[in-house]
Amino acid sequence: CFPGARCAKNSRRPWAMAVGASVLDGKAVSGAVLDELRARIQAESLRPHLHVISVGDDPASVVFVRQKRLAAEKIGVEFSQCCLPLETTLGELRAAIQEGNRSASIHGIIVQLPLPVGLRQHEREVLNMVEPAKDVDCFHPANFGRLALGEPTFLPATPAGVVRLLQHYGVETKGKRCVIVGKSNIVGKPLGLMLARENGPAATVTFCDQHTENLFEITRQADILVVAAGRHHLLCDPAALRPDGQAVVIDVGIHRVQNAEGKSIVQGDVDAEALRPHCRFLTPVPGGVGPMTVACLLEQVVKAASRLTSVSVSVLEAVKQVAVKTKLRQPLRPEEVRRIMQRICPDFGEAELDALLAEIRANEDGSMFWDDVATWAWGAPVPAP
């Protein structure tokens, strides 16, 4: 149990004995999502490209990256990886990220977490280095802010996978009480924002963490219970669920443990065997949220690639004309950027140009790269001829 929580094992509250929970099969649903993406790639003639930057050789990260690569190759998404050694400095990592930001052929960039101990204190700074238009993990403050405001943006993969599972199986969310155990920036917080959208799932969301008092008294009220605490079998007693056996339980945890025979197996934050007879739906581990995370990540990569191809023909033609007199592949001075943007987009006002020049990351000499300018203006890099 979390510290301060009264363990459900000590509760005498009765609960209903359901026949058994139906499985929210993430493997099957993710397969359907990948099929949809493959069809979209072919229909729009896209060439999506996912680029992963990893530091060190964390065993779990190696497995996760391999899963992404296999799924990407399966549907026609190009996959590349920059493998940096454990002793990589912050400056070297920054250079690798900037190289990906400037590549017109790369549509999505992921910095694989966790970072090595030596870089972990810089995690937020590192994630902020990824260009928002390529931040398919939705870690950049600009994208996370748009998510919080309910504006169009990339969706974080695991929360998107959870929402897709609920939708696929017709789980009612409107007005329902959803309890999320765990407040991480990767799962708990963004999932709560997505489920609480009034023009979307419209659930009533409650966040819990290790400081929550009487945790299981709160989880007993949940119509939908998401456990993303990173604690092996945190939820292990049916008394932690609502007593009528109708709770929907989503297990986001993943832990490699040894069973009684000493064999290594994968389990979650929920003791599925103990809770299965006492809830309506349950995600398995493995085969539940994990496959959905990979599929929904690739969905964001395809979305990013589609944004690039959807840039208007007039803009592309204007860029070509400008490129005749200006070398767009070289760093541009601020006055050159202002002149170029006025030629390409006469509708850009002075205020917008001032904002562009103020917000784009400049080089040490104040110059800028064309890909950064185009990404700011149109949400995707527009390749220079």
**Mind telling me the catalytic residues?**
68, 112, 137
Residue 194 in tokens = 């997505």
Q: Could you tell me whether strands 255-258 and 264-267 are parallel, antiparallel, or unpaired per DSSP bridges?
A: antiparallel
CB 132 within 8 A of CB 140: yes
Please, what is the end-to-end C-alpha distance for the chain in angstroms? 59
Rounded Cα gap, residues 179 and 247, in angstroms: 11
Bridge partners (DSSP) of residue 110 are 52
205 in Cβ contact with 195 (< 8 Å)? yes
Q: What is the DSSP secondary structure assignment for residue 116, as one 8-state letter?
A: P
CA distances from 162 to 92, 118, 150, 282, 284 (A): 35, 32, 17, 12, 13
User: Which two structure tokens, joined as six digits, stand for 294?
Assistant: 């990979």
Strand partners, 266: 256
- Strands (E) across the chain are located at 22-23, 49-55, 78-84, 108-111, 177-181, 204-208, 224-227, 248-251, 255-258, 264-267, 281-282
Q: Give the integer Cα–Cα distance in Å for 208 and 309.
A: 42
Written as six digits, the tokens of 332 are: 């541009």
381 CB-near residues (< 8 Å, 6+ apart): 104, 133, 308, 371, 374, 375
Helix and strand tally (H, E) in the chain?
15, 11
Q: Which backbone phi and psi does 78 adopt, to 5 degrees?
A: -65, 140
Of residues 279, 52, 3, 297, the one with CA closest to residue 271: 279
Both tokens of residue 300?
């964001």
CA-to-CA dists, residue 51 to 73, 126, 146, angstroms? 13, 15, 23
Cα separation of 133 and 308, whole Å? 10
